[in-house]
Chains A and B, each alone.
Chain A
């Protein structure tokens, strides 16, 4: 079948995507985040030399959707795998795509030291305040009082500790070139998220060190909310707990112009 693109085409599948329907739940923002990464890789002309590293979690199958080489890491170890790849193939673009169980819980050692070493890799960090794949257990990012299947009475900070703000933590490290937090809860923020993802890959292209974009995301299924309620929850509860902003921007990025 041949199709002709209409003159007023405003939306198409990015060339960085494979023709595979995603397995994500309706209303989940993983699809949005995936698309933004694919669009950026396409716009920067990087698809052909990009190698992705998938995590363990809902996005374990991320490799099915990107039309780039991909490897699948053990839980939390994606930054170490990415380090191994980037060190032997420094002219390739290497990114990890990790959730909050993966990056902020089991993988804290790997992410902290990848950033500290200034590994020239890009990390897309999905913060949806729970372990999605295993059915909605408490994550290090779960908000105080938030109910999950392993904090059935709400996260009690006295016994279960406090949320971890990964972007702020990693931004303290000298090896970090670009560390920001964005949100995917409305079109304006999605556009800002895309700009940030673009800058993160530009950081890598320019060899300015470790880059990470933390994306506040939804998990309607495990949160027990409709997609719309979930977006509202991000805006009203996640954003106040996880402020959006730029925590580290290398001086060398000042000249980089990113169109919206």
Chain B
């Protein structure tokens, strides 16, 4: 197959179709609307279900219904819309059924703006909806990776009867890059042992619900989710390493922030600074173990994000005070330039650093001083 020029959002839409997407429910919101528009044409053309819902509440509950029926189903939205979907996500998690959601994140909180941001990390990785649950969260850094991870998201969601979110930002959603699409997979309806698709003379009735009125039964469900999460942690951690073999400084950044950091790493290498990049692809399950191992041998970490330091907390948890951690973030829809991160690398290389400082406080002081 040849590479073609694909816009991120449309690439995600086509990749989902090729992965066997049978139903899509969405609502317009910038900067993800091209996914909805693309699928409004392609899904009916293929005889598959497409509904522009009345709201994100409607969309996620249509996803919930179709997921109960056992088909590959997806919705896509952007930050404010994803907030509205949190109710449905919690129910989907509580019902233990697979569903895929793409969040093309934008600046916030509130209405914010439509510029690229990563401020929904905590919402995606550490909860969002009410109750005890975790979602698998994938963070692409290119159009090609957006395609590959969209396809993967359906497999992971089904394998673990879990929500799988793909989080990206307007950069990747709106940017065009050469990329290769996978082959079209035929629609294959798995005969799930849990799907409520009608008895049809074959079996006893089935019920799908997130209600466990007896607390002991609810706790059993909570424990079942933990055991499932342990398997996800053991099997599904994905990340990409760049120049880590001899690195003394390690940048940790996901998605666009990780990609910008890679440019800075290359520039710093030309100046002789031994810096590498760890780019988490699964931000949930988070690559704790690789960071844990790096913490034993490197001299410093730099976390770069397009938010105020949300993944930073997970890196701190993995490093556990064994190496200094610095932070550099831009917020509100501002995308950092490689120069800004290069400057941070140079500052860290010059030292001195302390393991006792609070990386977010120090970053904030520097941000304010620079104004």
Residues of A near any B CB (own CB < 8 A)? 47-51, 53-54, 60, 63, 66-74, 77, 80-89, 92, 109-110, 112-113, 117
In the complex the two chains form, what is the Cα distance from A54 to B208 in whole Å? 10
In the complex the two chains form, what is the Cα distance from A242 to B288 in whole Å? 61
B25 on interface, CB distance cutoff 8 Å: yes
Cβ-defined contact, A80 with B66, below 8 A: no
Give the contacting residue for A113; candidates B53, B95, B196, B210; CB below 8 A.
B53
- 20 more contacts with CB within 8 A, not counting A71-B208, A84-B66, are A48-B200, A49-B198, A60-B211, A63-B209, A69-B198, A70-B205, A71-B68, A72-B207, A72-B209, A74-B91, A81-B68, A83-B65, A84-B23, A84-B67, A87-B49, A88-B66, A88-B69, A88-B73, A89-B198, A112-B54
A72 / chain B contacts, CB cutoff of 8 Å? 207-211
Residues of B near any A CB (own CB < 8 A)? 22-23, 25, 49, 51, 53-55, 57-59, 61-69, 71, 73, 87-88, 91, 95, 196-201, 205-211
Cβ-defined contact, B199 with A109, below 8 A: no
Supposing A67-B205, A71-B196, A72-B207 touch, asked if A87 and B57 sit within 8 A by C-beta, the answer is no
B201 / chain A contacts, CB cutoff of 8 Å? 48
B210 / chain A contacts, CB cutoff of 8 Å? 72
Which residue among B58, B62, B196 has the maximum number of chain A CB atoms within 10 Å of its CB?
Answer: B62
B207 / chain A contacts, CB cutoff of 8 Å? 63, 69-72
Cβ-defined contact, B53 with A85, below 8 A: no
Top 7 closest pairs, chain A to chain B, by CB? A84-B65, A80-B61, A81-B65, A113-B54, A72-B209, A84-B62, A84-B66
A77 / chain B contacts, CB cutoff of 8 Å? 57-58, 61, 64, 87-88
Cβ-defined contact, B200 with A74, below 8 A: no
In the complex the two chains form, what is the Cα distance from A48 to B197 in whole Å? 10
CB distance from B342 to the nearest CB of A (A): 48
Cβ-defined contact, A82 with B51, below 8 A: no
In the complex the two chains form, what is the Cα distance from A231 to B73 in whole Å? 45
B58 / chain A contacts, CB cutoff of 8 Å? 77, 80, 83, 109-110, 113
In the complex the two chains form, what is the Cα distance from A117 to B59 in whole Å? 14
